[in-house]
Amino acid sequence: MARVLAITPNPALDLSIGLERLVPGDVNRARVCRTSPAGKGNNVARVLAGHGHEVTVTGFLGAANAGAFEAAFVEWGVVDGFVRVPGETRTNAKLAEADGRVTDINAPGMAIRDGDVGRLAEAVAAEAGDPPDAVVMAGSLPPGLTTAMLHAVLEPLISAGVPLWLDASGTALDAGLALAPALIKPNGAELAACVGRELVSPADLIDAGRELQGRGVAEVAISRGADGVLWLTRTDVLAATAPPVTVESTVCAGDTLVAGLMHGRLSGWPDIDTLAFAVALSADAVTRIGVGRSDTPVFETLLGAVAVHAVDIEAPVE
């Protein structure tokens, strides 16, 4: 299998709370409550390691509460390359309601100093000496980490020709776009922010994705929630929809989708098979609190029910 470096600049402990319905200003009774080490890049790494890839995780981790992450990295089977910084890694609250609505309450993260960035740059440069097959950077940027700093950290990998997979929004997405990533995975709102206009229809989404490809992005996977995924590869546009499932939490669905696409690509699968696998894996993820798994009894059923087709961009897109 492949070697992957997963960068999570701003990881978090996720406090996932499942409840019937959130009533602001009232006492709410949780059906389930769980705290787990997370961060988008860590979630991707967890899925990839579970499918046999050799994964190193890195970014900035608070020294004061690193223990939970260290135990998780051992459990997941990933190599811990995180730079320890003073303080505690943030805690984010995810409030998942029975109808599938999720309310995120995200903390800003620890303030990062120049010396911390220098240590991360050294760690990444060491990885570039024996380049991995791919690097994925996912999630937000912590306070103090500028776009220029991020580019300096990633430059050795980019210069070594390592493909960059990017799953981010806001400042982190803007910073990554300048590095001509191999793939980005925006949702509709994030894509609209990138191109600076409202995107109403699937055709609008495709046009916006093509615009980003014209600006140097190789591929764009547009997540559309229950409406599925549009994947603009270098040559085609593929659309996929998943069967309806009982939703427990949508928190890790996007991270699982990215990992599924990476797994298929790194395994040399055809694009149609890769997209079907990734969408089924993401559908499995929403049935639980946590990432998707392909070793569940229902996964093969989900995979068989995923519909994938090539989009004729000359015809109306539904």
Evaluate if residue 315 carries a pLDDT over 50. no
- Please state which CATH number belongs to domain 183-318: 3.40.1190.20
Instruction: For 149-171, give the DSSP string.
Output: HHHHHHHHHHHTTPPEEEE--HH
Q: Judge whether residue 314 has pLDDT over 60.
A: no
User: pLDDT for 233-266, tens place per residue?
Assistant: 999 999 999 999 988 778 889 999 999 999 999 9
Class of domain 1-182: alpha beta
Give the model's pLDDT for residue 317.
44
pLDDT band of residue 316 (cuts 50, 70, 90) is very low
- When pLDDT is averaged across residues 126-140 and rounded to a whole number, the result is 95
Structure confidence by residue, pLDDT tens digits, 82-107: 999 999 999 999 898 888 788 999 99
Rounded to an integer, the average pLDDT of 278-286 is 95
Q: Would strands 219-223 and 183-184 be described as parallel, antiparallel, or unpaired?
A: parallel
* pLDDT given for residue 313 in this prediction: 67
Quick one: angle between helices 188-195 and 202-214, nearest 10?
50
Confidence of residue 111 (pLDDT cuts 50, 70, 90): very high
Task: Identify the CA nearest to 152 among candidates 126, 112, 122.
Answer: 122
**Mean pLDDT, the chain, as a whole number?**
94
pLDDT at residue 91 in the model: 96
- Rounded to 5°, the CA angle 164-166-167 comes to 160
Tell me the mean pLDDT in the region 102-131. 94
Residue type, 188: G
What amino acid positions are annotated as catalytic residues? 255
Residues 140-151 have a mean pLDDT of 95
Whether the per-residue pLDDT at 297 is higher than 90: the answer is no
Q: Flag whether pLDDT at 318 surpasses 70.
A: no
Mean pLDDT of 57-68: 97
pLDDT at res. 109: 94
Mean pLDDT of 194-209: 95
CATH 3.40.1190.20 in the chain, residues? 1-182, 183-318
Residue 5 region by backbone torsions, left for phi larger than 0, else alpha for psi between -120 and 50, else beta: beta
What does pTM read for this prediction? 0.93
